[in-house]
Structure 1
Amino acid sequence: MYLGKADVNTYDKGAGREFLVSDGHGSYCFSTVIGANTRLAHGLLVKKLDPKGNHKVLVSKLEETLFIGSKKYQLSTNRYKDLIYPDGFRYLQEYQASPMPSMLFVIHSALFRKSIFMPQGMGCTIVKYELMASPERVRLEVRPLMSHRDVQSPQASRLDFSCSASGMEIIVNGGGITTKVGATDGEWIEKPLWFDRVVYEQEENCQGAVCEDLWSPGFLQLDMQEGDSVYLVLCSSDTGACKSKAEIGVLEKEAIQGAHRLVSSVPMEPKTSAIRDLVMASSHLVDEGNGGSPCIYSGYPSMRVLARETFISMPGLLVSTGRHQAAEGVLNRWLALAEDNDWVVPTEVDGDDVKFQGVDTGLWLAYSAQKLYEAVDNPDAKEDLWRKVLCVIDRYSRPIDVLQLSLTDGGMLFLDTDDPSRHWMNGVVDGETVVTRRGYLVEVNALWYNALRFAEQVCELTGDVSSRERYAGMADRCGKSFKDTFWNKEGGYLYDWVDPSCKPDPSIRPNQILAVSLPCSPLDPVMGRSVLDVCWNELYTTYGLRTLEPKHDKFKGRQEGRIDQRIKAKFRGMAWPWLLGHFITAYLKFNPNRIDIGWVFMRPFNAHMRHGCLGGIAEFFDGIMPYKPHGDVLYSASLGEVLRVLQEDLLNPMGVA
């Protein structure tokens, strides 16, 4: 990812492009390429200090000033209510993402570079400043701005901050949090200062502008000449003292080598710049576990650990990128939780707490296990893993009272409630359900059919003939009921949900595409092609499948207006990229020789990846022009599906290793 002067020469261009760095264990650095924070979640050091608490923004940003001769040049950029000051983006010549985010500032004949990285698992951010060229000595002043607040909301009132200098570190206390900013060179000047009413204009879930006051303890001051460099280390109180320049140089080298190893190990060829960017973005979503088991975050800035997002994204994030051991670790973590809860897979894990809401979580786990099964060289060597997955599948054969779900005589799963938390279209506004669904849900039963066929496949591997025949019989019965129940003969598509106690809802929604895209489909080819055509004609947009057909009287094509209207739009017309991934797979099932069209569906993401979170893919988009992105700026299911489709359907369509 490279951005030139033309990409960042205005505030709107630069503030609309964000970079993300993480340490692989949950801490991250997130801001715009011009250094102007536009979201509450932006910050140079964002860290979870309490395993049961939310992430905290410790260091919001750094204000850099260069003194060259008798002139002062402020490299930072901030947005206030009535002005943008300073406007340091004017000096930004280029941004490069590889091997780490770096910004090159050019002031006449002086070239000054700023680079940012996070050492693996250390929970600290390191900022490197280099004077690459200059005909004369310059003086650099760097002023840290502190926040010390929850990532989800600004402080209601100013904190009582205090600071003290200790050698090359300045220690800041406020709001019960201690943050340290260390430097390898220079002198700290204690000069506290408030920056009032900084505006975060990208907060979509708030009505009106979101503002915050930031506090600075003082600034670092040092003289530099051509070739000089200095490191700043931003960390919390649980991190050791600032290391020497030589030690930090080793950490920098390790960070660069780690990025190169990650990209080079991915079994995708050719490794285009777009694929490299996608792979690097995927690394921020996978938490290596810090001594425990790995997990996948739902996205940034939400950073929740959700089963559905985990197992929709895992085939792309981990299996398609060749990280099979990490995929197995993720599966084992969730299987252990399921085993402790009568083989019911939780919906969300928050510290030690688990929640049970979604009925499809265990079925998505089976799907992701199926993708790993297909990818590993010796699946018989992981027989214990597959047997645990079978326990999850088998649990659906008995009523799951906590989810109000049961298996009917027709072999399908029935949801005896209209509680929206039971499925993924779970929006609620002022007690009103955005999308009412109950009874037989089309995607749940498509996943159920697929899980039964996978169970049949596993039993064939293990030689368990009686169980294989049992699963085959259950799948046959489910498949027949599925077609009888969901097929809308007149429209040539599948009902989204069916409750025998009421008339079927004829609304065209995208969940039916899973009945075509999953490895095992309950539909015959004529039905499958018809479903594909309806989804293409009624739901397809540039960046995803809409959640509702545009002709519907409740369709909302843009997420705009009041907050309640935005929430409703999420499932009444917004387009979701993860659904587009399944659409492309379904299309290529019926059109295996039209990979060129598959690339047509995929190519728009090349442009999107140069805006918003660079290299990432947003959670959802407007369903009509101008197709603006919304939600998480980097969403695991969106990114995972793009990687999966690239590896399975476009780069390696015949399954050749």
Structure 2
Amino acid sequence: MYLGKADVNTYDKGAGREFLVSDGKGSYCFSTVIGANTRKAHGLLVKKPGPASAHQVLVSKLEETLFIAGKKYQLSTNRYKDLIYPDGFRYIQEYQASPIPSVLFVIHSALFKKSIFMPCGKGCTVVKYELLASPERVRLEVRPLMAHREVTCADLKRRDFSAEVSEGGVLVSGGDMKTRIFSTDGDWTSKPLWFDRVVYEQEEDCQGPVSEDLWSPGYLQLDMEEGNSVYVVLCSSSQGTMSKGEIGLLEKETLQAAQKLLASVPMEPKTSAVRDLLMASSHLVEDLPGEGTTVYSGYPSMRVTSRETFISLPGLMLSTGRHDGAVRVLDRWLKVTEENDWVVPSDMDGASLRFDGADGGLWLAYGAQKLYEAMENPDSVEGLWERVLKVIDRHRSPIDALDLRMDDRGLLFLDSDSPLRHWMNGQTEGEPVVRRRGYLVEFNSLWYNAIRFAEQLCELLGDQEKASSYAKLGDSCGTAFREVFWNKDGGYLYDWVDPSLPLDAAVRPNQILAISLPSSPLDPVMGRSVLDVCWNELYTTYGLRTLEPKHDKFKGRQEGRMDQRIKAKFRGMAWPWLLGHFITAYLKFNPNRLDIGWIFMRPFNAHMRHGCLGGVAEFFDGIMPYKPHGDVLYAPSLGEILRVLQEDLLNPMGVA
């Protein structure tokens, strides 16, 4: 990813492009390429202090100033209520994401480079400054701005801060948090200062602008001449100081780790876009001490949910060759599930579990099936498939905690009006944005697929009697599925059916799973008809809409009051993860039209140069201008793009 002067020569252009780095253990650095923070989740050092703790923004940003020939040049950029000051973005010549994020400032004949990286597992952010060229000595001042709050904090009032300056740097205390900042050169000057009302304009979930006061303990000052460099390290109070040589070694190891990741991925060819996707995917998978391997829902949400984990697992981990990590992810969820009567929780926050969504076990079975298909020797993992089968078996008995039961025909019935039970979970003033209950089409598509997978597992485990039982159940379920969901007049599937309520004939995208999953309950004629309806009524550049445009409740843009934005999310917004399933379904029926598959994918090349660079957003407007919303880097979106690339476009039909 390379950005030139034309890509960052205005505030809106630069602030609309975000970069992300992480340390693989739960800490991250997230900001814009011009250094202006536009979200509460932005920060140069954001740490997760413990398994059950929320992420904390410790260091919000650094303010850099150069003094050249007696003149002052402020390289930072901030947005305040009525102005943008300073406007350091005008000195940026280029931004490069590889091998680590770096910005080149050009001031007359002085070339000044700033790079940022996070050493693996160290929980610290390192900012490197280099004076690449200059006819004379320059002076650099670096002033840290502290936040010391949780990412999700709603109260952004001022906190009490204090700082202790020593030879090794400065130790900042405030808000029951401590941060150490040190450098490999220069002198620290104690000069506390408040930066009032820094505005975060990208907080979509808030009505009106959000602002925060940030505190600075002082600044680092040093003289530099051509060829000089200095490291500034932001870390927790427990981190000791390091020499320049030690930090340089960490920098080298960070670069080698990125190269190793790219080299180990089986996906070919590795175009620049593919490399960007792969690097972005690494930030969504964390190996947490004592917790195992975790998949985050995205940034800035950072949730851990079964649905988003297993939607994205095939792309994030299997398409990128991280099969061992996928086993660890599955094993972690299975351990928790075994402790809860084989019912899969919807959310995990450390030791805290929630059982809101009723489809977690169905998505787990899908993710496990993809892992099974990707492994050369699936029976080499002792006890794993027996436990997966337990999860599938559990759906044959009522799951009261999820209001879910299987009827005598083999279909799953959701006996609840709560939107929290399914993925279209928006609600305003206590009312669901989308009313869905009874037989849900995606639940039963996933369930039919899980039944056929269970049949396969039973054969692997040598239990022919149980395999026959699942085969019979699959036949019954498939017949009932077609009877219940098929809309003969429209040639598509009902989104949900409750025999006690009037039929809802709205065209929604959940039906795409009935033809995209490995096993489909539909015959080819039905499947092709469903595909055509989804293409004609729901397809957009960046995803499938959540509702057909001709419906009277359709909302094509997320705009206006907060309740209107919430409604739009599931009444017209387009979701990229659904587009992934659409492309798979399209290529099932049109295996010789890879050219059309690439046409569906190519718009993301442009999107990845905006928002979170290299990432894919959570959802988009369903009509022009197709603006992205939600998480700027969303695991299911990115995962589905990677899965389709590897399974359907770069390696169709499993051909090596």
TM over 0.5: yes
Listed as ranges, the matches of 1:141-156 within 5 Å are: 141-153=141-153, 155-156=155-156
Listed as ranges, the matches of 1:437-452 within 5 Å are: 437-452=436-451
* SS at 2:261 equivalent: helix
| Equivalence for 1:262 | 261
* SS at 1:256 equivalent: helix
Aligned residues of 2:51 and 2:291 also touching (Cα < 8 A): no
TM-score by length of 1: 0.99
Listed as ranges, the matches of 1:533-544 within 5 Å are: 533-544=532-543
| Equivalence for 1:119 | 119
Note the alpha carbon deviations across 1:59-91, whole angstroms, 9 max, x for none: 000000011111111100011111111110011
Listed as ranges, the matches of 1:536-555 within 5 Å are: 536-555=535-554
Cα distance in 1 between the residues matched to 2:131 and 2:447: 60
* AA aligned opposite 1:114: K
Aligned residues of 1:154 and 1:212 also touching (Cα < 8 A): no
| Equivalence for 2:194 | 194
| Equivalence for 1:78 | 78
Cα distance in 2 between the residues matched to 1:242 and 1:639: 37
| Equivalence for 2:410 | 411
Q: Identify which range, 490-499 or 206-215, moves more after superposition.
A: 206-215
* SS at 1:654 equivalent: helix
Aligned residues of 2:156 and 2:213 also touching (Cα < 8 A): no
Shift of 1:381: 1.5
| Equivalence for 2:101 | 101
Listed as ranges, the matches of 1:247-396 within 5 Å are: 247-382=246-381, 384-396=383-395
Q: Which runs of 5+ in 1 are unaligned?
A: none
* AA aligned opposite 2:477: C
* AA aligned opposite 2:526: M
Matched, 1:130 2:130: yes
* AA aligned opposite 1:349: M
Shift of 1:567: 0.5
* SS at 2:615 equivalent: coil
| Equivalence for 2:472 | 473
Aligned residues of 1:588 and 1:594 also touching (Cα < 8 A): yes
Shift of 1:159: 1.2
* AA aligned opposite 1:500: P
* AA aligned opposite 1:338: T
Shift of 1:157: 2.5
Shift of 1:461: 2.2
* SS at 2:39 equivalent: coil
| Equivalence for 1:218 | 218
Judged with a 3 Å threshold, the aligned counterparts in structure 2 of structure 1 residues 355 and 174 are, in CA distance, closer, same or farther, namely same
> Over aligned residues, Cα RMSD in angstroms?
0.9
| Equivalence for 2:644 | 645
Aligned residues of 2:156 and 2:211 also touching (Cα < 8 A): no
Note the alpha carbon deviations across 1:356-377, whole angstroms, 9 max, x for none: 1111111111111111111111
* AA aligned opposite 1:597: I
Aligned residues of 2:17 and 2:32 also touching (Cα < 8 A): yes
Shift of 1:516: 0.3
* SS at 1:513 equivalent: helix
* SS at 1:212 equivalent: strand
Runs of 4+ in 1 over 4 A off after TM superposition: none
Cα distance in 2 between the residues matched to 1:426 and 1:398: 25
| Equivalence for 1:66 | 66
Shift of 1:383: 5.2
Cα distance in 1 between the residues matched to 2:574 and 2:108: 46
Note the alpha carbon deviations across 1:189-240, whole angstroms, 9 max, x for none: 11111111111111111111111111111100000111111001101223x2
| Equivalence for 1:581 | 580
* SS at 1:625 equivalent: coil
* SS at 2:413 equivalent: strand
Shift of 1:392: 0.3
Note the alpha carbon deviations across 1:301-326, whole angstroms, 9 max, x for none: 00010000000000000011100000
Shift of 1:12: 0.6
TM-score by length of 2: 0.99
Cα distance in 1 between the residues matched to 2:293 and 2:150: 24
Aligned residues of 1:168 and 1:188 also touching (Cα < 8 A): no
Shift of 1:458: 1.5
* SS at 2:288 equivalent: coil
Q: Which runs of 5+ in 2 are unaligned?
A: none
* AA aligned opposite 2:566: I
How many residues of Structure 1 are paired with residues of Structure 2 in the alignment? 656
* SS at 2:654 equivalent: coil
Aligned residues of 1:154 and 1:211 also touching (Cα < 8 A): no
| Equivalence for 1:607 | 606
Cα distance in 1 between the residues matched to 2:593 and 2:68: 59
What percentage of residue pairs aligned between the two structures are identical? 75
Note the alpha carbon deviations across 1:332-375, whole angstroms, 9 max, x for none: 00000110011001100011111111111111111111111111
Matched, 1:422 2:429: no
Matched, 1:488 2:492: no
* AA aligned opposite 2:357: G
Cα distance in 2 between the residues matched to 1:16 and 1:352: 36
Aligned residues of 2:157 and 2:212 also touching (Cα < 8 A): no
Matched, 1:400 2:394: no
* AA aligned opposite 2:233: V
* SS at 1:514 equivalent: helix
Judged with a 3 Å threshold, the aligned counterparts in structure 2 of structure 1 residues 436 and 155 are, in CA distance, closer, same or farther, namely closer
Cα distance in 2 between the residues matched to 1:49 and 1:294: 17
Cα distance in 2 between the residues matched to 1:117 and 1:505: 51
* AA aligned opposite 1:621: F
Note the alpha carbon deviations across 1:366-412, whole angstroms, 9 max, x for none: 11111111111111222521111000000000000111111101110
* SS at 1:610 equivalent: coil
Aligned residues of 2:25 and 2:287 also touching (Cα < 8 A): yes
Cα distance in 2 between the residues matched to 1:594 and 1:37: 43
Cα distance in 2 between the residues matched to 1:521 and 1:481: 13
Aligned residues of 1:184 and 1:245 also touching (Cα < 8 A): yes
* SS at 1:294 equivalent: strand
Note the alpha carbon deviations across 1:73-121, whole angstroms, 9 max, x for none: 1100011111111110011000000110000001111111000000111
Aligned residues of 2:280 and 2:614 also touching (Cα < 8 A): yes
Cα distance in 1 between the residues matched to 2:76 and 2:407: 63
* SS at 1:171 equivalent: strand
Listed as ranges, the matches of 1:562-577 within 5 Å are: 562-577=561-576
Cα distance in 2 between the residues matched to 1:229 and 1:292: 38
Note the alpha carbon deviations across 1:111-138, whole angstroms, 9 max, x for none: 1100000011111100000011111111
Shift of 1:608: 0.4
* SS at 2:397 equivalent: coil
| Equivalence for 2:655 | 656
Shift of 1:463: 2.5
* AA aligned opposite 1:9: N
Cα distance in 2 between the residues matched to 1:592 and 1:267: 22
* AA aligned opposite 1:53: S
| Equivalence for 1:7 | 7
Matched, 1:504 2:466: no
Q: Identify which range, 584-593 or 170-179, moves more after superposition.
A: 170-179
Judged with a 3 Å threshold, the aligned counterparts in structure 2 of structure 1 residues 154 and 83 are, in CA distance, closer, same or farther, namely farther
Shift of 1:155: 4.2
Q: Identify which range, 357-366 or 475-484, moves more after superposition.
A: 357-366
* AA aligned opposite 1:206: C
Cα distance in 1 between the residues matched to 2:151 and 2:356: 25
Aligned residues of 1:47 and 1:58 also touching (Cα < 8 A): yes
Shift of 1:154: 5.6
Cα distance in 1 between the residues matched to 2:291 and 2:553: 46
Matched, 1:627 2:626: yes
* AA aligned opposite 1:226: E
